[in-house]
Each structure stands twice: as structure tokens, then as C-alpha cells.
Amino acid sequence: MENVVMEVKDFSFVYPGAEKPSLKKITLPVEENKITAMIGPSGCGKSTLLRSMNRIHDLYPGNTYEGEINLYHRDGTKENILKLKKENDFIRLRQEVGMIFQKPTPFPMSIFDNVAYGLRLAGIKNKSELQDRVEAALKGAAIWKETKDRLGESALGMSGGQQQRLCIARAVALKPRVLLFDEPTSALDPISTGAIEELISELKSEVSVVIVTHNMQQASRLSDYTAFMYLGELIEYDKTETIFLNPSEKLTEDYITGRFG
């Protein structure tokens, strides 16, 4: 388990008021500096699982968790994030485990302030440090060239693809250990999608990535590992190559070849 950054163990999840659990006893590792894709038909629970990994679900009260989701810190210690209760702990967790959403979510402020926002939340006040880290993040998200002359302009004036890369820059700026992507390209055109995919594969030298996608080509192009989920259960998890070329489960093969879903 040396190269695992997060590990989901016997994890079950029930939405408030729901009779059946949306996730049943999921066990899944997240390898360090690799891209893990989660695929499966709508309603299979892949987004629910992703959103459990930084406890963003806790915005809405009443969820029931069971099992463990462990985060391995840089110093090697292990922490079960399902045990976190205090707001400060959540904040610490989310600085370690960032998230990118389906629709770009630029804040109504300047490009610079968007990227600096998370850093300021993290308590960085020094101006030159802020400037350096914003620049590094924008470079890291391959959007520096387009933005360096308009850092003071509103982020809302950018195109959808640029906005999404800005959101990635914003998350990268915090130097997280893990980045969670929730269908990050499904609201974008093919060219922007290509740019985002390229960016994600470049990012893995610095962070570990978990990506939920509806697009199977995207999963096969991008990821190192793939998890196939169906009706709240993890059907199969393996190297992406194996999943796509030689799946061991009949269900996985049927889904990948487009027989359902």
C-alpha cells in the first residue's frame, strides 16, 4: 500500500430519506500520481463516491456513512476522513483534496482574485507570495499566456474552456494531494475538452487525480486505473488497459462495448 494516497474501505452511503444505500461496501484504492477514472451508467453512484472523498456532501445534512475513507498524508500518517466533525478539519481536508465541477464555477471577481481566493482562505497574506503562487498555478493550468495581461479583469468574461482551466488553476494553487474531477468536460466543446484532458494528464506528476466521466473514450485515453460501478456497487477495478481490453466481469464488458448504459 506504499503508493496509495487514498483508500476507500467497505464504504456505504445513504442519502437522507432514501431506503436503500446509494453505495454498497465499496473498496477502492487511489494510486499516487496516477489518474483513476470512475465510469458507469447514470445513477450508479460514481458522483456520490467522488463527492464523499472531500466530504462536500456534508453541505447537506442527514447523510449516513459507513466504513472508512483513508487519506495518507505526506508524512505517512493515515486519517479516516469519515471521522472528521469540526469545520476546521473539513477545511484542512478540502485543501488536501480539491474538486473541479461539471460546469465551470468562476467566482464573480477578477482572474487573479479567483486563483488567490483559496490561498487567502488558507491564510496566505504576503502579496509577493500570493503573486508567485497565482502565476505558478496559472502556468500549471496552461492558461498563463492567455491571462497574464488581463489578471485584473473579471473571470466571468472568459470562455467556458478558459473558465474551467481557471478553476483547475484555482484548485492547483493550493497544492492539493488529490484532485477530484466531476465530469469536468461534459459542458465544454471538443477543443476545450482536448485542452482540459491534456492538462489533466500533465497534472498527474504533481497530484493524484480521480475523474468521474460519462465518456468512455475519455476514461480510456486519460486514466491509468478504471473503476466500473453499477447500481451502487463497484463491479470491477483494474488497470485501464485491462478493463477496456480484457475485463473479467461480463457486466463490465457489456457496458464498455455499449450493450447498455
Partner 1 sequence: MNRLMLNKTILILSTLAAVIGVGFLFWILITLSYKGIMAIHWTTFTHDLVEGGIRNLLVGQFTMAILASVIAVPVGMMAGIYLREYGHGSKLAAVIRNLSDVMMSAPSIVIGVFVFAILVDPFGGYNGFAGIAALAIMMIPIIISTTDNMLGLVPQELREAGIALGGSKHKIILQVVIKAAKVGIMTGILLSFARIIGETAPLLFTSANNQFFTMNLTEQFPSLTVSIYNLATYPDAPSRDLAWAASFILTVIVLIINLFGRFVVRNKK
Residue ranges that bind partner 1, judged by CB under 8 A:
54, 56, 59, 87, 91-92, 94-95, 98-99, 101-103, 105, 107-109, 117-118, 121-122, 167, 170-171, 174
Q: Report the half-sphere exposure of 245 (CA within 13 A, side-chain side).
A: 6
Nearer to partner 1, 2 or 87 (CB): 87
Which residues are registered as beta bridge partners of 64? 14
Min. distance of Cβ 105 from partner 1 in angstroms?
4
Nearer to partner 1, 38 or 243 (CB): 38
Q: How far apart are CA 49 and CA 27, in angstroms?
A: 11
How many Cβ atoms sit within 10 Å of the Cβ of residue 46? 28
Residue with the three cell numbers 498524508: 73
96 with 53: CB under 8 angstroms? no
How many Cβ atoms sit within 10 Å of the Cβ of residue 143? 24
Min. distance of Cβ 174 from partner 1 in angstroms?
7
Which residues are registered as beta bridge partners of 210? 36, 180
Nearer to partner 1, 22 or 163 (CB): 163
Min. distance of Cβ 104 from partner 1 in angstroms?
9
Query: Of 179, 188, 238, 239, which Cα lies nearest the Cα of 214?
Result: 188
Q: How far apart are CA 237 and CA 124, in angstroms?
A: 39
Min. distance of Cβ 103 from partner 1 in angstroms?
6
Min. distance of Cβ 163 from partner 1 in angstroms?
11
Nearer to partner 1, 88 or 128 (CB): 88
Say whether 247 sits in a helix, a strand or coil: coil
Nearer to partner 1, 186 or 242 (CB): 186
